[in-house]
Amino acid sequence: MKKKTRKILRVSIILSVIILLGVTLWFNLTSDTKALQVGEKAIDFQLETLNGDQIQLSDINSEKGVILNFWGTWCKPCREEMPDMNRIYNEGHED
C-alpha cells in the first residue's frame, strides 16, 4: 500500500512540474510584450505624482531626458543610490 501511495505522489509531482513548465513556456512564447531597445521611443504612460496630480511622459521636456526609478524605503541599495539620483536631478535643474 505504501509503495502505491508513494508512486502516485511521485507521478503527481512530476505531472505538476511538467504542467507548470508547459504553462510558463506557453505564456512566454505567446506574449506580445517586447522589450525596448536603446534608442527606441518609450511607451507614453501616465502616473500620479506625490501631490496627487497626473503626469504623462509626453508632457515632460524630452530634451533633458527622463529618469524613472522605482524604489522602496526598505531597500538598502535603493537608499544608498538616492544621493546620486538627487545629484543627477539637481544637475539637470540648475536653471
Q: What is the pLDDT along the chain (95 residues), one digit of tens a residue?
A: 788 999 999 999 999 999 999 999 998 888 777 777 888 888 888 989 888 999 898 888 767 677 778 888 889 998 899 899 888 888 877 65
Q: Could you tell me if residue 69 is inside a domain?
A: yes
Q: What is the extent of the structural domain holding 24? A: 1-31
pLDDT at 30: 84
Q: Could you tell me if residue 43 is inside a domain?
A: no
pLDDT at 94: 64
Q: Could you tell me if residue 52 is inside a domain?
A: no
43 CB burial (10 A radius; 0-12, 13-18, 19+): exposed
Q: pTM of the full predicted structure?
A: 0.41
pLDDT at 71: 81
Q: Could you tell me if residue 45 is left (phi over 0), alpha (psi between -120 and 50 degrees) or otherwise beta?
A: beta
Residue for cell digits 510558463? Answer: 24
Q: Could you tell me if residue 51 is inside a domain?
A: no
Q: Could you tell me if residue 91 is inside a domain?
A: yes
Look at the chain and report how many structural domains it folds into.
Answer: 2
